[in-house]
Amino acid sequence: MPALCRASFPAVLFFFFCGLQVSFPLSDWLGRAAIAAPVQNDFAPAAEEISLPVAVGPGAAESSIRQIVRTLDGHVYIATVDDQGGSALGFPRPTYLRMYKSTTTGIPTGFREVSRSRRPQTEKYATLSGGDMRLDRHGLIHVVYYRTSDGATVYQLFDTNMDRWDTTATVVTTFSGQPGKVAYGLRGRAINSLALDRENNPIVAVGGDEGVKIFHKTLDGWMEEAALSAMPSVHPTMTFDRLNRLHVAWLEEYSGASDVHYAVREGGVWSTSEVVFAGDSNVSTNVDLNQSPSIAVDGQNQPVVLYLSGEPGQLNDFIQTRTMTAGLWIADDPPSIFAQAASLHMRDDSKFILLGDDRAMHSGYLTHKPTEAEWSAVVHFQPDSPVYADAGAASARYDPQYETDCSVVDVVYFDEVPDKRGGFRPHLYYAAIKLYGEASGDGSCRELLH
């Protein structure tokens, strides 16, 4: 990795603001700097270097998957499901999978939807979920999502060279799919995920009521590779490490209880599934659509798993992080704070935890660097901003084998806003976390493994 990427950097700040629906810096709308004084707790203060947030457009984020990429020329793309607020109304309007592109290279100042006429969509009373995506070495974005109308996990390409959706969408599998079951399409209940190996080969994980299976693409179509679980499961989350090993975590739910499980593929062989922390009897279920988990790897390519522990509906959904070291899951938990829909990002050995929002809390973040003894304070943003509705989540660009700019973490997040029809429209936002002061998104720091 270039020296710049491994240099120490301050804890960083990203900025959340809800309620706007247009693509321009929020300072233009407010007529002043859009940065409020953060609320700090008694832990270490968080230094920051941020961009102004940008309102992207309609769409939602999922904390267990990655919905944002950055191309080598510095454009940012975001894939997002827009159900038009229909989740509370039985999806009476079509659902779209939108692809947004930044209007400039570097640090985005605006976004526009591209290839609208080719975008995946459903008719009314059906919906889509997911949108996990990765960028390959040829400028193709690989996307996976779930379609409730036929209970199918679907794979589709988007070509950034022409800014166009491929019209051919292939069904990976109908494993665990239940046609017409719109509960599989709810926000906060992703049942599939995707990762790319160094040869640009897509791997898809599929969860659901029948368990978790892994599929890979061949010249003849999709092939089942492994069955990791037979228990009802949601939120499979995947990443390759820098050694080309594939790490997977997921949430199993049964008889009112939950566990977070993990498996790894190394040298083409899958390990046996194991519980990330068997001693935690309070692993949160996903009944309130807030549990992740989220997975990443540290600088030694050790898996790090984030999940929530607490009682559904109570203000005690606490963040837990576990790192596998020498065969043991070692805890590095932040202070006990209420959280929901939390997501994990790693930059070498520094942890970044993105927090969702709801009526009881505002979006924010905290971080832990190996050079500091304590986690940073939790930072909340714009406590006097417009209405925060029921929920929100965040997703950050992440692929340790194909890091197109290691000076910037690109973040996408959303908030739900009630509309006049009784639905909750998802509104999507972007912010750049600058890891050093002069970071401009110009790709001067990269880690591209082939």
pLDDT tens for 236-245 read 999 999 999 9
CATH of domain 3-448: 2.120.10.10
CB 346 within 8 A of CB 354: no
Distance CA 186, CA 3 (A): 43
Q: Where do the domains of the chain lie?
A: 3-448
Structure confidence at residue 6 (pLDDT): 29
CA distances from 88 to 198, 242, 397, 418, 435 (A): 41, 41, 29, 10, 39
Q: How far is CA 407 from CA 220, 300, 403, in A?
A: 40, 19, 10
Average pLDDT over residues 210-235: 95
Q: How many Å separate Cα 359 from the centre of its chain?
A: 21
Percent of the chain predicted with pLDDT > 90: 50
Q: Which uninterrupted H or E stretch holds 4?
A: helix 3-6
How far apart are alpha carbons 304 and 352 in whole angstroms? Answer: 11
Q: How many CB atoms lie within 10 A of CB 231?
A: 18
CA neighbor of 233 nearest in space, from 95, 87, 64: 64
Burial-class residue 412 by CB neighbours within 10 Å (0-12, 13-18, 19+): buried
Q: What is the pLDDT of residue 254?
A: 78
Q: Which residue has the tokens 């596998």?
A: 324
The set of residues, in sequence order, having a beta carbon less than 8 Å from that of 450 and lying 6+ positions away, is: 137, 198
Rounded mean pLDDT of 80-108?
89
